[in-house]
Chains A and B, each alone.
Chain A
Amino acid sequence: MAGTLSVDQLHRKMSQDESVFILDVRNPEDYSEWKIEGHNVQSLNIPYFDFLDEDEALYKDLPKNTEIVVVCAKGGSSEMVADMLEEKGYQVKSLAEGMRGWSQLYVPVTISVDEHMKLVQFNRLAKGCLSYMVISEGSALVVDPGRNIEEYINVAKQENVKIAHIMDTHLHADHISGGIDLAKQTGATYYISSGEMQGSNESFEPLEKHRHVQFGAVDVEVLAMPTPGHTPGSTSFVINRKFLLSGDTIFVGGLGRPDLGGKAQEWALTLYETVFKKVADLPDDVLVLPTHYADIKEINERGYVGATLGEIRRSNEIMRTTDIRKFTERVVSAIGDTPPNYERIVGVNRGTEHVTDQEAMELEIGPNRCAVHHQ
């Protein structure tokens, strides 16, 4: 029997700059839509059912002297193929839990630390989702937590801090928020714009009433700045005037899509106001930390996703397109596929629809589609 590799072990292998060879045995449609990527990852797709035929030609591109990691959707087919390869003399491991397991992996990276504050970015690699923890004097603020809330609870334990505040920049449409659950587990306050939660029975603090949240050391200033456009209630957080947690408003590679409410033109106009009136006042050296990224190339050499406003202004033409007609035309035309299941996901995040853990996992499986490139 070939052995298995956990998603943590795979990630460790990838981050040690070892070259990693992945044999993905899902069907080609699923593979082309969503796969494991990394700077040093080489991957090949041969569906598991092809291996049921004794066809030697299948094996010709598989390396004999490198460990092969076999990946499928849930870890069943990859085990079968790994066993077949092992019998033929390959060094091989099967990825336990497959892409389902991979989608649950969160990697915390420290962005900044000084005597007052520590800022950590959690990168959910498979989904391109980012969330944040701001730590100061024994308490923590979590921004845009994903569904797997034990990740934040564990880091808070390691840091010996209490999670006191939880904020969602907006009502997410592509992944399920852990905000409400994390608040229930920890007793923290959950904040979101009330415009995003119409029809919800869940309890939350309306962000519009808390423009400044005092938190931890007196030197940590959290400014909630309305930045509508991706959704009408989208809010960004400016921390100590140095970091802009921008939600889905501004990405390293572009702007948030304005179409998920069915009013693309109207929301694009508010996105214009946000970019050229609100964000325009912030200086070039503010570090933008978004909630999503679209490409692993956006992970910088320090291991996190983020760029200064200056860099983003220089590299994205859309940030300089001041002609309002051209701007709305461009943000509306760059829209790609809508996130699958987004209406149901919005319902779950608003608390109007309830799903089991298993259903939640299935609803949000797949790549991220909220980050659109406007190059």
Chain B
Amino acid sequence: MEADIFVDAKGLSCPMPIVKAKKAIEGLESGQIMQLESTDKGSLNDFQSWVKRTNNELVKVEEDNDVFRFFVKKG
């Protein structure tokens, strides 16, 4: 999937992955895609919950070798 912005939050713990995601997505236009990578297990639940409350859309989540890759479409 083509992303419009890439955010590396690997090695950071909560709340930083979401703090970074919020900052990055503010700079996008509606419909554009942010890709964020995190190694924090808690970020899986938090991303699902965060997108719901912010009207963004979690298009896809991939997991490989303990890295979570989130693709979020700006609402």
- Does residue A317 face the partner (Cβ distance < 8 Å to B)? no
Which residues of A come within 8 Å of B, CB atoms? 27-30, 47-50, 52, 72-74, 76-77, 80, 362
Which residues in B have their C-beta under 8 angstroms from that of A48?
Answer: 15, 18
Residues from chain B with a CB closer than 8 A to the CB of A52 are 18-19, 22
Closest 8 CB pairs of A and B: A27-B49, A77-B15, A76-B14, A49-B50, A49-B18, A52-B22, A80-B15, A77-B14
Main secondary structure of the interface of B (DSSP, over half): helix
With A29-B45, A49-B46 known as contacts, the answer to whether A76 contacts B15 (CB < 8 A) is yes
Q: A49 touching B14 by the CB < 8 A rule?
A: no
Given A29-B45, A73-B42, A74-B42, residue A50 in contact with residue B53 (CB < 8 A): yes
Asked if residues B45 and A49 are in contact (CB atoms below 8 Å), the reply is: no
A50 CA to B50 CA in the complex, in Å?
8
Q: Could you tell me if A49 and B42 are in contact, using CB atoms closer than 8 angstroms?
A: no
10 other A-B residue contacts (CB within 8 Å) besides A49-B15, A52-B19: A27-B45, A27-B49, A29-B45, A29-B48, A29-B49, A47-B50, A52-B22, A74-B13, A74-B14, A80-B15
Task: Closest B residue to A81 by CB, please name it.
Answer: B15
B32 to chain A minimum Cβ distance, whole angstroms, is 19
Question: Assuming the A-B contacts A29-B45, A49-B46, are A73 and B53 also in contact, with contact meaning beta carbons closer than 8 angstroms in the complex?
Answer: no
Q: Considering residues A30, A52, A72, which has the most beta carbons from chain B within 10 angstroms of its beta carbon?
A: A52
Q: List 26 A-B pairs, Cβ < 8 Å.
A: A27-B45, A27-B46, A27-B48, A27-B50, A29-B48, A30-B45, A48-B15, A48-B18, A49-B22, A49-B46, A49-B50, A49-B53, A49-B54, A50-B53, A52-B18, A72-B14, A72-B15, A73-B14, A73-B42, A74-B13, A74-B14, A76-B13, A76-B16, A80-B15, A80-B19, A362-B41
Contacts of A77 in B (CB 8 A): 14-15
Q: How many residues of B contact A (CB 8 A)?
A: 16
B residues 25-66 in Cβ contact with A at 8 Å:
41-42, 45-46, 48-50, 53-54
Q: Check if B49 sits within 8 Å of A28, measured CB to CB.
A: yes
CB-CB under 8 A from A76, the residues of chain B are 13-16
Shortest B22–chain A CB gap in Å is 5
Given the complex, which residues of A lie within 8 Å of B50, measured CB to CB? 27, 47, 49
CA distance A327 to B54 in the complex (A): 48
Which chain B residues lie closer than 8 Å to A74 at the CB level?
A: 13-14, 42
B62 to chain A, nearest CB (A): 21
How long is the Cα–Cα vector from A48 to B53 in the complex, in angstroms? 12
Q: Which residues of A contact B19 (CB under 8 A)?
A: 52, 80
A174 CB, nearest partner CB in chain B, Å: 20
- Residues of B contacting A50 with CB < 8 Å? 53
Least distance between B28 CB and chain A CB atoms (Å): 16
Minimal beta-carbon separation of B52 from chain A (angstroms): 9
| Nearest CB of B to A81, in Å | 8
> In the assembly, what is the distance between CA of A362 and CA of B41, in Å?
10
Q: Write out the residue numbers on chain A whose beta carbons fall within 8 Å of the beta carbon of B48.
A: 27, 29
CB closest residue in chain A, given B12:
A76
Cβ-defined partner of B49 (8 Å) among A47, A80, A362 = A47
Once bound together, how far apart are the Cα atoms of A74 and B50, in whole Å?
A: 18
Q: How far is the CB of A319 from chain B (nearest CB, A)?
A: 39
Docked Cα-Cα span, A349 to B8, in Å, equals: 38
Q: How far is the CB of B48 from chain A (nearest CB, A)?
A: 8
Rounded to whole Å, the gap between the CB of B19 and the closest CB of chain A is 7
Compute how far the CA of A48 lies from the CA of B21 in the bound complex, rounded to whole angstroms. 13
CB neighbours (8 Å) of B16 from chain A are: 76
A47, B42: Cβ atoms closer than 8 Å = no
* Complex Cα–Cα for A95 and B51 (A): 26
Bound: A132/B45 CA distance, A: 35
- Chain A residue contacts of B41, Cβ below 8 A: 362
